[in-house]
Chains A and B, each alone.
Chain A
Amino acid sequence: MMTLFTGSEGRPGGRGAAAVAVLAGLALACAVAPLMADGAVVRRHDADPLVAALLDGRGSLSFALFAGLLGGALGVGWGVLATALGRRAERRLMSTATRLTALPLVLLVPLAAGLLGGGVGILALTVALAVAPAIAGLTHAELNALMRREFLTAARAAGLSEGAILRRHLIPNARRPLLAAGALALPRALAAESFAGLLGLGLPAPLGSWGASAGLAARLGDPVALAAPALLLAVSLWALCAFADSLRPGHPRP
């Protein structure tokens, strides 16, 4: 037959490992960036553009991690709750999530920052709320697919009680897809914060971020200063997405 299993684009494992390496490298570079800048106190504006961007990375990445984890947990919790609470609650919770996902929720982030005076806490909370519905939708879809898998029927045929099926089969198999769904909140949070930063409404002043620096450079018309943060942002977004993707369990080949 002509449908061979070769030639599927790249090994997912390879891509995931590359993404992890890129992320680790980036985090490390951002962490040691202050040492690269000459002098203990960094005056960011005269620094080398790359070092400046790495310094910004500390803000961007740690914020993405914080807000992303919050949003991911919120979204996964939402999806799990919808699946667990039975038909009616499920329909209501998920239709809310679908409707919210259709809205441009990222706009909330600069809006809230502008109106509520953008503390880090407020910003993180809005970013988390903005990404949660999409994650809830993903979680729900993953769980639904899992509940229809035949091995659960086989477990029933083996006389296991519903509790035992949940403990021994459902939860072990749900872990990775849920982790993958939750991990997708990280790139989304990074993108949401960068978007607000571009408008000058991102992380508050002492904390630099890629979005803010790129926005500033664009306003000043400085292509050299724009290139570094934009590039690092793009690389991190790719790496975070690829990482989340690599967490998904490979579907068993026919």
Chain B
Amino acid sequence: MTVPMPAPTPTPPIQTDALTLMAGDHALVDRATLRVEAGEVVAVTGGAGSGKSLLLRALAGLPLPGIDVAGNARVDGRRLLIAQGGVLAPRRPLGAQAAEILGHHLGLDAGGSLRRLSDALDRLGVPAAARRLDLPPDRLPDGLRWTALFALALAVGPAVLMADAPGAGLDPTVRLRLLHRLAEWARGEAVALILAGRPEDGVAGPATRALALHRGRLLPAVPHAAVAFHRGPAAVPPGGPLLTGRGVTVSFPLGRTAKGEERRLTVVHPVDLDLAEGETVALLGETGSGKAMLARALAHLPAPTEGRVAWKGRALESGDATGMRRTRRDLQVLFPDPAAALDPAQTVGAQLAETLESLRPDIPADRRARRVADALETAGLPAQTAQRWPVSLSAAEAARAGLARALLPEPRALVCDEPAASLSAEERSAFLDDLLAVRDRHRLSLLLATEQAEEGLRNADRALVLLMGRVVESAPAETLRHGARHPLTRAMLAAARGGSPRLEGEAPSALALRDGCPLRTRCPNERPFCAQAVPTLEEIAPGHRVACHYWDTP
């Protein structure tokens, strides 16, 4: 990043010297030496339980029960810590909480507090129309709640601001935008800002400097992308089509209108999709984009409301149990929460054997145990895992047990719905690496639904970007990585690379969607025409299709 480093001063707002935090004789933070200048933004990354929160609490001067502190830590000026998950009371109106907090810190009256909070919201780019200071935080959309929290922190005007897992749970596009705004403000106001989070949260993006807390030591971070796995799309060119979806639509009944017409909520608008033999297709989208619904509809779990799915040219029919079972043998699924996808009342081995019995009746019963053990080993688990109960598995082991189950019938294609979402960054890259190795070895086709745009594109041949149930861009992965045209694709890529996405606010709810382009409330290129017609997919280059009226606007 090309951000000027603030000049070192003799007394920076944060300076620690061999700060050590001990629980008993175990050092949670070991001789951390940290110096943050005014106007500097520092990211502290680390996995769960690495001691980030503890370090921030120590710097904020909060009590640390049961922890012995050694070494020096000096923090000057007004300091503020945004704790994990935010600190707003969920049920009191925002305005009242602001008045209280600002009144306490700055001695302002209610009117003055609200004015200051509004100024801060301005700086974070919240339009006046979206400000709902009379609402309690739990009635606000997540993004707005976090923005309000940051605005409140801004309004207090601290000299040192620390945020623990800021914007956790937000879509990367929304989170990164917010963090960049916060960093801009800190640089402008000469505030020392520390952003702490997991490496995959992207807190390093807006920061001047990134440090990693690993085994208690605070050291310069290795860039996240460099530690992530790097395998790329399958080496062999794709073959003929295996899975084809035509006009696949998913909708849910919402009850009836006063006139007795049925109202439905459509979460996937007609989508056409082909998955060729040996090909990896990524389905990219934010939360609620419908990518998971689409992936499941393609695997008939459950069947799409409308449209047709065919496997090797033969249409899937829910009524035809034998045909369905034959397809399921070839088309397996990885679930987003692998632990929940295992029956807690059966051992891992029992349910794997059951899958084998159901899908491969040709394998004699006495050979099943051998097959199960082999599949577990392929998935990177010891064969004894078969005797364990699902509750005793860690998230990573459950994910691998899920992979073993999917590989058991020797499928041709895997539908992966965020298969590593529940794993930490390291487990995640190891798991995906193994998944891709299996893909290459068995020449599997992969449908990979994920919200991590960069990761998805790196491993896929082709990608579809979804926005509120519609495909807005589809192209070869390489084209998208360097020449994405749709504002959403660009924003997702910017967020994945740590940059500031050019989208405002959050996705509106699917129920609130009126006519026109679903992105228009957030889009930087929006023009009046966008409100009039839903853009349709048009081919702008061979194999590159975009649904945006102004795709050629840079």
**Residues in A lying within 8 Å of B, measured CB to CB:** 1-3, 149-151, 153-161, 164, 168-169, 172-173, 249, 252-254
Determine the chain B residues whose CB is within 8 A of the CB of A160 once the complex forms: 354, 358
Q: Please choose the segment from B260-268, B269-277, B333-341, B540-548 that sits at the chain A interface, where 4 or more of its residues have CB less than 8 A away.
A: B333-341
- Closest Cβ neighbor of B324 among chain A residues: A159
Specify which of A151, A153, A157 lies most central, judged by the most chain B CB atoms within 10 Å of its CB: A157
Are the CB atoms of A154 and B358 closer together than 8 Å?
no
Residues of chain B at interface, number, CB under 8 A: 37
Nearest CB in chain B: distance from A152 CB, A: 8
- Closest Cβ neighbor of A153 among chain B residues: B301
Specify which of A3, A154, A156, A168 lies most central, judged by the most chain B CB atoms within 10 Å of its CB: A154
What 0/1 readout, one digit per residue, does chain B (352-392) give for beta carbons within 8 Å of chain A? 00110011000000000000000000000000000000110
**Residues in B lying within 8 Å of A, measured CB to CB:** 48-49, 52-54, 84, 296, 299, 301, 321, 324-325, 328-329, 332-333, 335, 337, 339-346, 351, 354-355, 358-359, 390-391, 395, 402, 405, 422
Are the CB atoms of A172 and B390 closer together than 8 Å?
no
Determine the chain A residues whose CB is within 8 A of the CB of B346 once the complex forms: 168-169, 172
- Closest Cβ neighbor of B359 among chain A residues: A159
Are the CB atoms of B301 and A157 closer together than 8 Å?
yes
Are the CB atoms of B340 and A252 closer together than 8 Å?
yes
Are the CB atoms of A150 and B84 closer together than 8 Å?
no
Nearest CB in chain A: distance from B266 CB, A: 21
Are the CB atoms of B345 and A173 closer together than 8 Å?
yes
Among A3, A151, A164, A168, contact of B340 (Cβ-Cβ < 8 Å): A151
Are the CB atoms of A169 and B345 closer together than 8 Å?
yes
Bound together, the chains give a CA A2 to CA B345 distance in angstroms of 31
Among B54, B84, B324, B335, contact of A154 (Cβ-Cβ < 8 Å): B335
Among B329, B332, B354, B395, contact of A168 (Cβ-Cβ < 8 Å): B354
Q: Given contacts A150-B337, A160-B354, is CB(A155)–CB(B391) below 8 Å?
A: no
Q: Given contacts A150-B335, A158-B354, is CB(A1)–CB(B53) below 8 Å?
A: yes
Among A3, A158, A252, contact of B328 (Cβ-Cβ < 8 Å): A158
Are the CB atoms of A159 and B343 closer together than 8 Å?
no
Give the 4 A-B residue pairs with the shortest CB-CB distance, closest first: A159-B325, A158-B355, A150-B340, A154-B341
Are the CB atoms of B48 and A1 closer together than 8 Å?
yes
Are the CB atoms of A158 and B390 closer together than 8 Å?
no
Bound together, the chains give a CA A36 to CA B469 distance in angstroms of 75
Are the CB atoms of A2 and B84 closer together than 8 Å?
yes
Are the CB atoms of A151 and B332 closer together than 8 Å?
no
Are the CB atoms of A158 and B359 closer together than 8 Å?
yes
Specify which of A2, A3, A168, A254 lies most central, judged by the most chain B CB atoms within 10 Å of its CB: A2
Among A2, A158, A249, A254, contact of B344 (Cβ-Cβ < 8 Å): A249
- Closest Cβ neighbor of A249 among chain B residues: B344
Determine the chain B residues whose CB is within 8 A of the CB of A1 once the complex forms: 48-49, 52-53, 84
- Closest Cβ neighbor of B164 among chain A residues: A2
Nearest CB in chain B: distance from A229 CB, A: 42
Bound together, the chains give a CA A249 to CA B391 distance in angstroms of 12
Nearest CB in chain A: distance from B78 CB, A: 23
Are the CB atoms of B345 and A158 closer together than 8 Å?
no
- Closest Cβ neighbor of A169 among chain B residues: B343
Q: Given contacts A2-B53, A169-B345, is CB(A158)–CB(B340) below 8 Å?
A: no
Bound together, the chains give a CA A150 to CA B321 distance in angstroms of 21
Name 27 interchain pairs, CB-CB below 8 A, sorted by A: A1-B48, A1-B49, A1-B53, A3-B84, A150-B337, A150-B340, A151-B340, A153-B296, A154-B341, A154-B402, A155-B343, A157-B301, A157-B332, A158-B355, A159-B359, A164-B358, A168-B346, A168-B354, A172-B346, A252-B339, A252-B340, A252-B390, A252-B391, A253-B391, A254-B339, A254-B395, A254-B422
Are the CB atoms of A153 and B84 closer together than 8 Å?
no
Bound together, the chains give a CA A246 to CA B325 distance in angstroms of 40
- Closest Cβ neighbor of A168 among chain B residues: B354
- Closest Cβ neighbor of A3 among chain B residues: B84
Are the CB atoms of B53 and A154 closer together than 8 Å?
no
Determine the chain B residues whose CB is within 8 A of the CB of A3 once the complex forms: 84
Are the CB atoms of A161 and B339 closer together than 8 Å?
no
Are the CB atoms of A159 and B341 closer together than 8 Å?
no
Among B341, B344, B351, B391, contact of A153 (Cβ-Cβ < 8 Å): B341
Determine the chain A residues whose CB is within 8 A of the CB of B395 once the complex forms: 254
Bound together, the chains give a CA A226 to CA B549 distance in angstroms of 81
Nearest CB in chain B: distance from A180 CB, A: 15
Determine the chain A residues whose CB is within 8 A of the CB of B402 once the complex forms: 154
Are the CB atoms of B358 and A157 closer together than 8 Å?
no
Bound together, the chains give a CA A254 to CA B296 distance in angstroms of 23
Are the CB atoms of B341 and A151 closer together than 8 Å?
yes
Among B53, B54, B301, B339, contact of A156 (Cβ-Cβ < 8 Å): B301
Determine the chain B residues whose CB is within 8 A of the CB of A159 once the complex forms: 324-325, 328-329, 355, 358-359
Determine the chain B residues whose CB is within 8 A of the CB of A168 once the complex forms: 346, 354
Are the CB atoms of B342 and A154 closer together than 8 Å?
yes
Determine the chain A residues whose CB is within 8 A of the CB of B341 once the complex forms: 150-151, 153-154
Nearest CB in chain B: distance from A145 CB, A: 12
Bound together, the chains give a CA A173 to CA B321 distance in angstroms of 25
Q: A158-B351, A158-B355, A252-B391 are in contact. List 12 more A-B contacts (CB 8 A).
A: A151-B341, A153-B296, A154-B342, A154-B402, A154-B405, A157-B332, A158-B405, A159-B358, A159-B359, A172-B346, A253-B391, A254-B339
Bound together, the chains give a CA A204 to CA B299 distance in angstroms of 63
Nearest CB in chain B: distance from A7 CB, A: 12
Determine the chain B residues whose CB is within 8 A of the CB of A169 once the complex forms: 343, 345-346
Bound together, the chains give a CA A3 to CA B328 distance in angstroms of 40
Are the CB atoms of B335 and A158 closer together than 8 Å?
no
Are the CB atoms of A173 and B343 closer together than 8 Å?
yes
Determine the chain B residues whose CB is within 8 A of the CB of A253 once the complex forms: 391
Specify which of A149, A150, A161, A173 lies most central, judged by the most chain B CB atoms within 10 Å of its CB: A150
Q: Given contacts A159-B325, A172-B345, A252-B391, is CB(A149)–CB(B301) below 8 Å?
A: no
Q: Given contacts A173-B345, A252-B390, is CB(A157)–CB(B299) below 8 Å?
A: yes
- Closest Cβ neighbor of B345 among chain A residues: A172
Bound together, the chains give a CA A173 to CA B391 distance in angstroms of 14
Bound together, the chains give a CA A169 to CA B54 distance in angstroms of 43
Nearest CB in chain A: distance from B324 CB, A: 7
- Closest Cβ neighbor of B52 among chain A residues: A1
Are the CB atoms of B333 and A157 closer together than 8 Å?
yes
Are the CB atoms of B328 and A151 closer together than 8 Å?
no
Determine the chain B residues whose CB is within 8 A of the CB of A2 once the complex forms: 53-54, 84
Bound together, the chains give a CA A10 to CA B395 distance in angstroms of 25
Bound together, the chains give a CA A159 to CA B355 distance in angstroms of 8
Bound together, the chains give a CA A254 to CA B359 distance in angstroms of 30
Nearest CB in chain A: distance from B101 CB, A: 21
Determine the chain A residues whose CB is within 8 A of the CB of B355 once the complex forms: 158-159
Are the CB atoms of A153 and B324 closer together than 8 Å?
no
Determine the chain A residues whose CB is within 8 A of the CB of B301 once the complex forms: 153, 156-157
Determine the chain B residues whose CB is within 8 A of the CB of A252 once the complex forms: 339-340, 344, 390-391
Bound together, the chains give a CA A122 to CA B517 distance in angstroms of 66
Determine the chain B residues whose CB is within 8 A of the CB of A149 once the complex forms: 340
Bound together, the chains give a CA A172 to CA B341 distance in angstroms of 16
- Closest Cβ neighbor of A158 among chain B residues: B355
